[in-house]
Structure 1
């Protein structure tokens, strides 16, 4: 298993740090050899790179990544396999009655 570097850029203004920390925790639990770094970045961002390859961009898709799909890609990278674009979390409609 190769060590995998996961870089997560989040927007401090949007208060995305808790999501970054949650995703980092899940990755570390499922892939203990992963090196996960969360850092503040551009406004509206939640960008996920695995070994320098962008697999998710909230700036492009306006949604957070599917955490399970991120973990799947980290495991692929650890096995030396190519990573793919990560699915987005489903958008839920907020209904006020």
Structure 2
């Protein structure tokens, strides 16, 4: 079984982002365990089987869901994991 552990910022209200990723992965890859838990401010850190594959604290971006899914499938097959692609930031403007 593949375990995806997501640490998210509760102050930033990133729980909904984690729930969206959780629902996506469970729908696309049944049997995957996805754990969402509050953590550091600004965080959205994704670990697959205890290996960090995405850090919002480092990239300042959310992970691309398809890229996380590809890594979950790799983990299930015992293959090495790769860096998660970042989700493009939309609806953001600098004033």
Instruction: Please classify the TM superposition score into its range, dividing by the shorter chain length.
Output: over 0.9
Residue 31 of structure 2 corresponds to 33
Say whether residues 1:79 and 2:77 are aligned partners.
yes
TM-score with structure 2 length normalisation?
A: 0.93
Structure 1: gaps spanning 5 or more residues = none
Residue 2 of structure 2 corresponds to 4
Superposition RMSD on alpha carbons, in Å?
1.4
Q: How many equivalent pairs are there? A: 94
Structure 1 residue 95 displacement after superposition:
5.2
Distance (Å, rounded) in 2 between the aligned partners of 1:72 and 1:6: 12
Output aligned runs, 1:8-87, within 5 Å: 8-87=6-85
SS at match of 2:25: helix
Structure 2: gaps spanning 5 or more residues = none
